[in-house]
Structure 1
Amino acid sequence: MTPYPRSFSHIGLSVTDLDAAVKFYTEVMGWYLIMPPTEITEDDSAIGVMCSDVFGAGWHSFRIAHLSTGDRVGVEIFQFMDAVKPENNFDFRKSGVFHFCIQDPDVEGLAEKIVAAGGKQRMPVREYFPGEKPYRMVYMEDPFGNIIEVYSHSYELTYSAGAYA
């Protein structure tokens, strides 16, 4: 039996300053705060037990907030005890998630807002089909080291025409 396509529910980001991250993602990205920063402790509560299942024993506590994008994708933002921002968080050869992508028709304007809020622009804005279609993209970094790609158009539109032909 062919599997059906699952929906994307949420992504979890790790940061060194949860309050600053909530401010960045609500003010710069416009995402909705659906659960304000909350402390979770290693205990016998349902959430404490679930976290111990994931992290193992000895995680003690962390802070978490929940946000939602305009298309209802959830964003969990975690601040773990003694969290450290690596000097270079973009190790693309390492297995695992290395970026997430959002869509905004004003790629250049959002890039400027991200930089003004303490993030980085990792490349110039580029066109997928120069002179042919207005599809643009850029790689950015939030102030906490998470890599964000910004597309001007939907994923389906960008790739349905064979972007690399």
Structure 2
Amino acid sequence: MSKAYPRTFSHIGISVPNVEKAVKFYTEVLGWYEIMKPTEIIEDDSPIGEMCTDVFGAKWEKFKIAHLSTSDRIGVEIFEFKNQEDPKDNFEYWKTGVFHFCVQDPNLEELADAIVAAGGKKRMEKPRYYYPGEKPYRMIYMEDPFGNILEIYSHSYELTYGAGAY
């Protein structure tokens, strides 16, 4: 067997209680591009309906979806499901699964303030430096207005960890 080669990241799906409000937040605050407006998908025998039944099983009935893109061409699918529920604790980091996504902005503090102004919140009091007094690489954990956990890095993943962050 040959060695695996690194695959590219295509997209992530995020569930929210209101797809229109989420599109507004992600386009206006994070600057992502809207590439498909919010659209309702209905459980039926169309190709998209059948594909969704393959994924969700029978009786999903309907959902709304919008497609966004980051500046580096990563897709973001925003879902609003018919029987959406807010979790009691959206930060069960010890459980298997994705517990956050990360965006990068050299103006980390300004973006954190914009997220708070738009209804999100800080999960940390202030940004943390990876190399205090040596390099300006910093990070902070946040929540979007819908309770999804996002992290902000000031510098690229490669720069942050390539120098041995810990």
TM-score, normalized by the shorter chain, greater than 0.5: yes
Determine the C-alpha separation between the residues in 2 that align with 1:86 and 1:107: 27
What's the secondary structure of 1:38's corresponding residue? strand
Tell me if 1:140 matches 2:145: no
Number of the residue aligned with 2:70 = 69
Once the two structures are superposed, what CA deviation does each residue of 1:46-88 show, in whole Å capped at 9, x if it has no partner? 1111110010000000000000000000000000002122232
Number of the residue aligned with 2:158 = 156
Determine the C-alpha separation between the residues in 1 that align with 2:163 and 2:56: 42
Determine the C-alpha separation between the residues in 2 that align with 1:87 and 1:114: 21
Which of 111, 127, 130 pairs up with 2:129?
Answer: 127
Determine the C-alpha separation between the residues in 1 that align with 2:84 and 2:14: 12
Number of the residue aligned with 1:55 = 56
Determine the C-alpha separation between the residues in 1 that align with 2:123 and 2:110: 15
Q: After TM superposition, give the deviation of residue 128 of structure 1 in Å.
A: 0.3
Report runs of 4+ in structure 1 exceeding 3 Å deviation.
none
Gaps (5+ residues) in structure 1?
Answer: none
Once the two structures are superposed, the pairs formed by residues 82-121 of structure 1 within 5 Å of their partners are 82-121=83-122
Once the two structures are superposed, what CA deviation does each residue of 1:15-67 show, in whole Å capped at 9, x if it has no partner? 00111000000000000000000000100111111110010000000000000
Determine the C-alpha separation between the residues in 2 that align with 1:56 and 1:160: 42
Determine the C-alpha separation between the residues in 1 that align with 2:15 and 2:95: 17
What's the secondary structure of 1:96's corresponding residue? coil
Determine the C-alpha separation between the residues in 2 that align with 1:75 and 1:67: 5
- Percent of residue pairs identical: 70
Determine the C-alpha separation between the residues in 2 that align with 1:160 and 1:66: 32
Query: How many residues matched?
Result: 164
Number of the residue aligned with 2:8 = 7
TM-score between both structures, scaled by the size of structure 2: 0.97
TM-score between both structures, scaled by the size of structure 1: 0.98
Determine the C-alpha separation between the residues in 1 that align with 2:121 and 2:85: 18
Gaps (5+ residues) in structure 2?
Answer: none
